[in-house]
Chains A and B, each alone.
Chain A
Amino acid sequence: MDFGPHLMLASLEGAVISAILVLTAMGLSIVFGVMRVVNVAHGEFYMLGAVLTWFITSIVGGHPAIGFVAAIVVAPLLVGCLAAGADRLILKRVNYDPDRTIVATIGMLYIIQQTTLMTFGPEARPVEAPFNTRLSLPWFEWGENGFAMIWPWGLSTTSYKLFVIAAAAMVLVALWLVLTRTKVGLLMRATQQDSETAQAFGVPVGKVYSWVFGLGAGLAALGAVLVVPIQQAHYLMGHDPLLLAFIVVIIGGLGSLPGTVIAAILIGMSDGIISVFFSPTLAKIIATFLVAMVLVFRPQGLLGKIAR
């Protein structure tokens, strides 16, 4: 394959990685932005979403699409409720103290991981995609007969991967509308800016925190539901997304949602392209190196603000 089509293939892989990453990183970013909680258990909520998707699709029979639709509704909801419960039960009890919430979420990480291991076992579980048509992609080239459209061998994607990209974009738009256009979003943003004053204006800050923590975990789970038809569900799969989500949130600027989106696309695309042309390890090395550079030259992140 020529370089051009090869790059396009790599970019498509990168776009899929970006799509998943943007959802998980957004969850982490919202939780940090509103609650100032560094959620180390975020990757486990992702993992739980993936394993629950396998569980749900395996008990719902019939066409794989039925199970998948059930999973995309139920799994994020279930994970969100679990996270909201964990907020009430654990984070609220430590008064959202920054140091203690880190320790508390590390504890949550192991509890969720080991409970999943004991309940569902150590096997990697495949989930069948609801639809998975292979689509050949055209390439445009200026050849001897002038401008022509060719169909290079091997340049293809699947309808499911395109669906993942579209679904992530839709979720992002929906999230943005909720945050900027609804009363719930206004309450979240007011709490983010000044939680004490928000309380003095009748905002039930405790409830907002639970909702936000649930929403963050739900977003991670949603990303996982989308990923399991591509990547198998496994009880240890939460580590990589956690690391990447942290990288994205630090590069984008802690708590800045537009920065998170930009950084997720940047990291996802570079991960995809570098993995295809060189190796996945190099991709991780470069991402980590980028974080180091951002921390040195722009500690607040791309779009972050300097703390007042």
Chain B
Amino acid sequence: MLDVRDIHVAYGQVKTLYGVSLSVQPGEILCLLGRNGAGKTTTLKSIMGLLPVSEGQITLDGTELTGMQPHLIPREGVGYIPQGRRLFPELTVAENIEVGLMTRKQGADTREWVLDLFPRLRERLGQQAGTLSGGEQQMLATARALCLRPKVLLLDEPTEGLQPSMIEQIRQVILKMKSEGFAIVLVEQRLDAILAIADRAVIIENGKNVDTMDAAALKSDPGKLRQYLGV
């Protein structure tokens, strides 16, 4: 479904990715692992077209995303949950959802579906997004991305700074999306949160991917993790 082939990316003069490849299929959770600054967030941003890809190719269902105007990429069906949530803080919950719905011209049924997934948001529709609690903000960021009815969901550290009960809720939603056939790319620091739900993991080091392994292999061989991540 989503194929990233050997992409090279630079922030201005500073090159940050030197050839990252990954591919994810419908109903699969792919994890990006790596130390801080290894290039995980950069990889997701590059898929969204927010950073210029100088070499390599990104395709979604055979459609070339590389070089496409950034605002057209989400319309192909890529839902993005950025690091730090990046809600529109002064817009209400309802308006944040509306922005998500407008991306792929989804209607009231999608809105209902999303609000049924997160009943807490339904109670807070008129509230400014910036005044929500951390967990509610993460729910809203997830809901906003799901409003696209995306083919691929990119999640950047969705459990960062959340309490355990909230982490569990987010994890349940990710599993549900997997069972509904979404392709999911997940960046996560908390290995315990990942190992339980990931199908495969791509390990990125210094802007290159150095290894791809099944989650089962990852679990049975913790030495590898120690080697790559220092944990």
* Chain A residues with a Cβ under 8 A of chain B: 183, 186-187, 189-190, 193-194, 196-205
Q: B38 at the A/B interface (Cβ < 8 Å)?
A: no
B103 and A201 contacting across the interface, CB-CB below 8 Å:
yes
**Are A198 and B99 in contact, CB atoms less than 8 angstroms apart?**
yes
Residues of A within 8 A of B95 (CB): 186, 189-190
Which residues of B sit under 8 angstroms from A205, Cβ to Cβ?
71
Q: Are B71 and A190 in contact (CB under 8 A)?
A: no
A202's partner among B88, B90, B102 (CB-CB below 8 A) is B102
Please tell me the number of chain B residues within 8 Å of chain A, measured between CB atoms.
27
Q: Which residues of B contact A190 (CB under 8 A)?
A: 88, 91, 95, 99
Judged by a CB distance under 8 angstroms, whether B100 is at the interface is yes
* CB atoms of B82 and A186 under 8 A apart: no
Q: Pick from B72-80, B162-170, B192-200, B201-209 the stretch touching chain A.
A: B72-80
Residues from chain A with a CB closer than 8 A to the CB of B50 are: 196, 199-200
- A200 near B70: Cβ-Cβ < 8 Å: yes
Q: Which of A183, A186, A189, A201 contacts B74 (CB 8 A)?
A: A201
**Contact, CB under 8 Å: B91 / A199:** no
| 12 pairs, A vs B, C-beta closer than 8 Å | A186-B95, A187-B102, A190-B91, A197-B82, A197-B88, A200-B74, A200-B82, A201-B74, A201-B100, A201-B102, A202-B102, A202-B104
Q: Which residues of A contact B75 (CB under 8 A)?
A: 202
What is the CA–CA distance of A204 and B99 in the complex, to the nearest angstrom? 12
User: Is B48 interfacial (CB 8 A cutoff)?
Assistant: yes
The reply to whether the CB of B160 lies closer than 8 angstroms to some CB of chain A is no
A197 proximity list for chain B (CB < 8 A) = 82, 86-88
Q: Which residues of B contact A194 (CB under 8 A)?
A: 86, 88
With contacts A189-B90, A190-B88, A194-B88 taken as known, whether A203 is within 8 angstroms of B99 at the C-beta atoms is: yes
For the complex formed, measure the closest distance between the CB of A277 and the CB atoms of chain B, giving whole angstroms.
41
Interface secondary structure of A, over-half rule:
helix
Are A199 and B71 in contact, with the CB atoms below 8 A? Answer: yes
List chain B residues, Cβ under 8 A from A199: 49-50, 70-71
A200 touches B99 (CB 8 A): no
Cβ distance A308 to chain B, nearest Cβ, rounded Å: 8
* A183 proximity list for chain B (CB < 8 A): 98, 102
Interface residue ranges of B48-95 to A (CB < 8 Å): 48-50, 69-75, 80, 82, 86-91, 95
Q: Looking across the interface, which residue of chain A has its beta carbon closest to that of B75?
A: A202
A200 to B72, CA, bound (A): 9
Q: How far is the CB of B150 from chain A (nearest CB, A)?
A: 11
Check B98 against A202 for contact (C-beta < 8 Å).
no
C-alpha gap A198/B95 in the complex (Å): 12
By a CB distance below 8 angstroms, the chain A residues around B80 are: 200-201
**How far does the alpha carbon of A280 sit from the alpha carbon of B100 in the complex, in Å?**
51
Decide if B144 is an interface residue (CB 8 Å cutoff).
Answer: yes
Q: How far is the CA of A217 from the CA of B104 in the complex (A)?
A: 31
- Which chain A residue shows the least CB distance to B72? A202
Q: Which residue of B lies closest to A205 (CB)?
A: B71
CB-nearest residue of chain B to A202: B103
Q: A145–B53 Cα gap in the complex (Å)?
A: 86
Contact with A along B167-204 (1 / 0, CB 8 A): 00000000000000000000000000000000000000
The residue on B at minimum CB distance from A207 is: B71
Q: Which of A186, A189, A193, A204 contacts B71 (CB 8 A)?
A: A204
